[in-house]
Structure 1
Amino acid sequence: MTVQVIENLWIPLADGVRLAARLWLPETAEATPVPAVLEYIPYRKRDGTRGRDEPMHGFFAAQNYAAIRVDMRGSGESDGLLDDEYLLQEQDDALEVIAWLAAQPWCNGAVGMMGKSWGGFNALQVAARRPPALKAIITVCSTDDRFADDIHYMGGCLLNDNLWWGAIMLAYQARPADPAIVGDDWRAQWLARLDHLPFWPALWMRHQSRDAYWRHGSVNEDFAAIECPVLAIGGWADAYTNAVPRLLEGLRCPRQGIIGPWAHIYPQDGVPGPSIDFLGEATRWWDTWLKGQDTGVMREPMLRAFVEDHRAPQTTLPFSAGRFVAERVWPSEGIAEQVWHLAPGRLASAPQSAGTLSVRSPLSTGTAGGEWMGTGVPGEMPADQRYDDGLSLCFDTPPLDTALDILGFPVVELALSADRPRAQIAVRLCDVSPDGASLRVSYAVLNLSHRDGSTDPAPLVPGETVRIRVPLKVCGHRFPAGHKIRLAISTAYWPLVWPAPDAATLMFSLAGSRFSLPVRPIDAAETPVAFAPGRSGPATPGTRLRDGRMARGVSFDHIAGKTTFTTIGEGGLFGEGVVCWDDIGTALSHDLTRRLTIVDGDPFSAEATIEQSYTMLRDDWAIRIDTSLVMTGDAENFRLTGTLKAYEGDTLAATRSWSETIPRVHV
């Protein structure tokens, strides 16, 4: 089918703001209206996501859909200012966009909404607002709970990715609208945007418990509000996968889930492979709910998930061996809890009647943990866990007599006390091969002030025994015969989370402490699951100008006792390289260096620094954004400083600086 691409069109809102959109339209749509598929994010349809948008939205248009990429208010070429993520204003604007789409002469009145990450979040949030024209959504790599499972906090611990993402948002939102779209007013609009720019990481650090700020936009507050069909997608190497089984369990609308081995990537490009024909699966979803066709979608199992095979630990993983399995409903009727009890050095089949064990890990424990959110690039996966296992309290099963499959949430329940009021715990599930190599299968961290939930956290009473229950990240894995299952417990997980202000020792009572696994029978009668390989529409025309580079490493200063974790992306945030988009003549480059340092035994030595430079180049236009951020902390406060310099050519157009002291509240 012939597809017309409209580079920019304006969507007017009631308050006079115009949102900028890029449209892929079937040539026949003016005569025979078609459904519309909306992706609504702040990442610049003109250049920022151009390479991803063209082959995906062009594919949908070729299947007889009007595919539209809209820049949110205050981003890209859209008017207005962007104050934060997931605001009510963002949802309100989306409702107007959906109504506008449904009313266009080329649209038949049916709209679908989709997105990955931010776009997956707001697809769920907008669905909960029930706009009449919205008939179905697809949410990829998103969450139903903004406090429990987003880039800011995990288990009540502050993620260091909060600063990383906040720094990136500074650079992203400091980019000007393209003069080729908005005209001569672009510079005044740019300066206004720079003057208004929020200090993103501080916005999120001011909310250190699950307050109204985080409950807003968390659709698990009221699953019943979502009535349109939902297809939820996740990947084991991504950080957002917990939401998929929770959505399947909590929603009552038509729903399905797919979990693959992938990182934070659409599955047609999925890494680790195997990729799948996500665009074909999405088209079947849209055909069912937007065109009323019987595609057999709702006769598919509710969950199709990839069970990964064991592999040697490696930080770069292009492909994951394993198989897709099917669960007719979720929670599954066939998955059973297998319970192990904690005993000295081992996981035992019988509960222990007495005994205690203690652990206080070096603050640098966790350097083998890999990135919180995989993006499918070299070096990001967890390394051999023996680095961290040696600094942790470990419990092993005997070698398994037969292979064992798990699918779901492992759970650890512990009776513990601490010698300090503020403490953290990290728990890891590992697959230990006969040669001793330790592969991380799942993990969790918990700020023990949040042991009874994150709405009203409270410090521990030193010496008082408490019981905690910690679900680990959802996972699908096969432990081979002859391997051991290991539970590893530490009191730190750097550089994933900021350390607790007290370096505490934890004491565990073995009586009543247990670890349960969601075991899926290997010999179960299987519903065959087969996906076609990934495919896309025509690629975006582009010329590679320079290769990128990605580096990750840890160094130890054995005199100062300092550990430094460094990540470097050159030419692209993830080392993608510098590409010029040929049809708009614009080249983008993004360099970022992050350093996270800590001295064992001194939680106040923790420091995070991020330096980055973002450039946009065209024959007649050159923009550069340089930022520098630093974060430190003491017993009572976090301290954040930042600078931003924006250049037009060699001329400094604007500068911003921030310095904030944020009280620590049970973090």
Structure 2
Amino acid sequence: MKILKVRNGIVIIIVILFIASSVFSIGSANLIKNDIIYNKNIDFLSFQVNPIFTKETYMVEMRDGIHLATDVYLPDNISSPHGAILVRTPYNKNGSGMGGWANKGWPSIVQDTRGRFQSEGIDTIFRDAHTDGPDTLEWISSQNWSNGKVATIGGSATGIVQYLMAGAGPDQLKCQYIGAATPNLYTTVYPGGQFRKNMLEAWLQNQGSTYVLPELWAHENYSLEYWTNVSLEDNWQDVNVPAVHLGGWYDCFCQGLIDGFMGYQYDGGTGAAGKSKLIVGPWTHAFFGERLQGELLYPENAKDTFSAEYWDEILEQYILGESNDFENRPNVVYYVMGDVTNSEALGNFWRYTDNWPPEYIEDEWYFHENKILSLDSPGSYSPLTYSYNPTNPVPTKGGTNLYPLAPTWAGPYDQRSVENRADVLLFTSDVLTEPYEATGPIKARLYVSSDCPDTDFTVKLTDVYPDGRSMLITDGILRMRNRNGCDHWEFMEPGQVYEVEVDLWSTSYVWNTGHKIRVAVSSSNYPRFLANPNTKDAMNQNTESNIAENTLYLDSSHPSCIILPRYNDNYAPIKPTISGPTRGVPGINYSFIFKTIDPEGEDVYLYIDWGDGTNTNWLGPYSSGEEVTLEHTWSSTKIYTIKAKAKDINQDECEFSSHNINIPRTRLFNKLVLTRLFEQFPNIFTIIRYLLGL
């Protein structure tokens, strides 16, 4: 044991001395790349990057005389005017991390929004963003270190202010990176006309801004006078900036972000149209880019490992003026969700395309009297009636919520505990004999009546797994007084049948073979939404409530249904599997087996990148599912990443898969290491002899 301890001590000493020699040899070298200096002067003990910037705080004056606290992180080595990066935040500019970009050579600015922390004024919850943002851009461009080009970045609230800033069309704004945000606050506060209770009240409470609530309730009906400053809905043509729009299917701003992309891409000004990118993953707001969402663990490929590349490229192209692949990237990248328990099931892959939404066919899945959901037309069915009591609403369990905790949770959750109620109508399909994909906007067409002047109707769409779990995909709500528009009220007449449409936002989902499609219809989803009191009172002004007898009609004259956008385009092959060795030596041929499956059974082609600068170009065609054996030799010692992708006869490509092989260092290297060690520390042999007692 003593000998073992001594040997361990020797190993530790050797390792420490070798690391020290390596660190000292690096010294304080700087790596210069594309005129951006990356500091390599590392404190070995604390691993803190030594700053190479100067931070100054300014009180920047807005057009109305209010001053906003603004921190400027200016690189010490800046020698000529440079493009800048701006973040505007209601969450405190201190500790923003902007120094990281300054260390890379970028003048970086972070500002407390109006009424927040060190800034003057009153927090009006984004209503001044359309003027404060452009005023800040103008101030930045007037500084002697600025070349007049500014990029903005941020998510959630820091993304919302970007949208509203862009609507003013400032010349200095050259590109944006917008995550988990919305360009329309009205539809965020009042989706389907109903107040989004938990998200708004909890967020305003955390902000210390609950004084805004009465104002929001007083403006429940959309009007340009109040809402125009916080919506781009009517002025997309004023947006003249390319942007990356990054969202999640379970994010609380999902549809808003998609609408933002479509507004920029298809209706924007010349500086925006055709120049934006959309990325949507299977993510919630709180766990963006991660695998675990709600109660489901998605495959490893669900992680966000690539969106940062878009930020780097949009900066290079529109701020530095350097050409790259940004414009050549697909305009739309989205994750097609599916069965997380079956790795062979169709779904859980990224799709790359140039337009949203993709081509689809609207399938009408009808509600039948026997609680069946079917593509068959309904017969002469009797209507279904249930009692909705606003004092006992259906509890929220997951969905597109802001907070991932009780009482709402966020993401895909099993709905069985809230489905087994008398005030919830369930319609479930037969077991699917083949996969079914819905990608695009989801909506429900309902024929309904009530004995009250106003009420709500809610719709949920779920995937029923073979084990019985009913996993939430998306949902929606409609406040009946706003069925014909959110700018006015139309109350219901008792017993009259109304045809209405409920918006369930957009998604991309594959129900696997053996699963079932389910729709749940009810009148509440609390506290995600305010429980409708079934009265004529204004928002949150009721002093009493009524129990409503709500009726859903199912007959051939009133064919209530959910309308699913069945994907109607070609499927790319599944990304290839790669089987083969993970270690090797230089100069030896190694065999690898590649296999891919095309969902339509079409022939496939393979493209292999061997990781050493060589590739195979496209090989094939091969049969779907065929195992293809290829050989390769590496000449140098290194860890190589083999990448493989496939395409079908329609030229639709899948994403790359990867496999690492380590061509290890030889024993000669170990001898060289020891030689170097003894050269730099000539007394080390004496120390070793002493420790061994020789």
In structure 2, what is the equivalent of residue 398 of structure 1? Answer: 430
**Partner deviation per Cα, 1:534-575 (whole Å, 9 max, x = no partner):** xxxxxxxxxxxxxxxxxxxxxxxxxxxxxxxxxxxxxxxxxx
In structure 1, what is the equivalent of residue 321 of structure 2? Answer: 292
Secondary structure in 2 aligned to 1:200? helix
In structure 1, what is the equivalent of residue 211 of structure 2? Answer: 199
1:86 to 111, 121, 126: 126
The answer on whether the counterparts of 1:263 and 1:270 sit within 8 Å (CA) in structure 2 is: no
**Partner deviation per Cα, 1:552-611 (whole Å, 9 max, x = no partner):** xxxxxxxxxxxxxxxxxxxxxxxxxxxxxxxxxxxxxxxxxxxxxxxxxxxxxxxxxxxx
d(CA) in 2 for partners of 1:331 and 1:371?
21
**1:401 Cα deviation after fit:** 0.9
Aligned residues: 485
Moved over 6 A (4+): 268-271
In structure 1, what is the equivalent of residue 654 of structure 2? Answer: 528
Secondary structure in 1 aligned to 2:430? coil
In structure 1, what is the equivalent of residue 260 of structure 2? Answer: 247
Which amino acid counterpart does residue 114 of structure 2 have in structure 1? R
In structure 1, what is the equivalent of residue 231 of structure 2? Answer: 218
Which amino acid counterpart does residue 501 of structure 1 have in structure 2? P
In structure 2, what is the equivalent of residue 76 of structure 1? Answer: 117
The answer on whether the counterparts of 2:462 and 2:470 sit within 8 Å (CA) in structure 1 is: yes
**Runs of 5+ consecutive residues of structure 2 not aligned to the other structure:** 1-37, 40-50, 268-272, 294-301, 342-346, 535-546, 573-651, 659-694
The correspondence of residues 521-600 of structure 1 with structure 2, limited to 5 A, is 524-525=571-572, 526-529=652-655
Change (3 A) 1:370 1:218: same
Aligned-pair identity (%): 22
The answer on whether the counterparts of 1:129 and 1:225 sit within 8 Å (CA) in structure 2 is: yes
Which amino acid counterpart does residue 439 of structure 2 have in structure 1? L
**Partner deviation per Cα, 1:415-474 (whole Å, 9 max, x = no partner):** 111111111111000101122210010100111111112111221111111111112022
In structure 2, what is the equivalent of residue 553 of structure 1? Answer: none
**1:306 Cα deviation after fit:** 1.2
d(CA) in 2 for partners of 1:531 and 1:40?
38
> Which of 1 and 2 has higher RCO (CA within 8 Å, sep 6+)?
1
2:394 to 354, 366, 376: 366
**1:23 Cα deviation after fit:** 3.2
The answer on whether the counterparts of 2:317 and 2:326 sit within 8 Å (CA) in structure 1 is: yes
Which amino acid counterpart does residue 340 of structure 1 have in structure 2? W
1:20 to 49, 59, 69: 69
**1:87 Cα deviation after fit:** 2.1
In structure 2, what is the equivalent of residue 342 of structure 1? Answer: 367
The answer on whether the counterparts of 1:340 and 1:350 sit within 8 Å (CA) in structure 2 is: yes
Task: Give the number of the structure whose residues are more often strand, by fraction.
Answer: 1
Say if 2:186 is the partner of 1:154.
Answer: no
**Partner deviation per Cα, 1:624-665 (whole Å, 9 max, x = no partner):** xxxxxxxxxxxxxxxxxxxxxxxxxxxxxxxxxxxxxxxxxx
1:408 to 437, 440, 450: 440
The answer on whether the counterparts of 1:365 and 1:493 sit within 8 Å (CA) in structure 2 is: yes
2:283 to 262, 276, 298: 262
Which amino acid counterpart does residue 370 of structure 1 have in structure 2? G
The answer on whether the counterparts of 1:426 and 1:446 sit within 8 Å (CA) in structure 2 is: yes
d(CA) in 1 for partners of 2:498 and 2:305?
45
- TM-score with structure 1 length normalisation? 0.68
**Runs of 5+ consecutive residues of structure 1 not aligned to the other structure:** 174-197, 313-320, 533-667
The answer on whether the counterparts of 2:396 and 2:528 sit within 8 Å (CA) in structure 1 is: no
In structure 1, what is the equivalent of residue 250 of structure 2? Answer: 237
Which amino acid counterpart does residue 20 of structure 1 have in structure 2? A
In structure 1, what is the equivalent of residue 487 of structure 2? Answer: 455
d(CA) in 1 for partners of 2:291 and 2:470?
25
Say if 2:163 is the partner of 1:124.
Answer: yes
**1:274 Cα deviation after fit:** 1.3
Higher radius of gyration, 1 or 2: 2
**Alpha-carbon RMSD:** 2.6
Change (3 A) 1:433 1:372: closer
d(CA) in 1 for partners of 2:191 and 2:170?
32
d(CA) in 2 for partners of 1:262 and 1:160?
22
**Partner deviation per Cα, 1:131-151 (whole Å, 9 max, x = no partner):** 111112222211122121x2x
Change (3 A) 1:388 1:362: farther
In structure 1, what is the equivalent of residue 142 of structure 2? Answer: 103
**Partner deviation per Cα, 1:75-111 (whole Å, 9 max, x = no partner):** 2222x222411224x3322222101212222222111
Change (3 A) 1:269 1:405: closer
Change (3 A) 1:529 1:122: farther
Say if 2:221 is the partner of 1:209.
Answer: yes
d(CA) in 1 for partners of 2:399 and 2:377?
35
The answer on whether the counterparts of 1:44 and 1:75 sit within 8 Å (CA) in structure 2 is: yes
Say if 2:95 is the partner of 1:43.
Answer: no
1:515 to 562, 580, 593: 562
Secondary structure in 1 aligned to 2:284? coil
- TM-score with structure 2 length normalisation? 0.65
d(CA) in 2 for partners of 1:336 and 1:343?
22
**1:405 Cα deviation after fit:** 2.2
2:205 to 158, 164, 167: 167
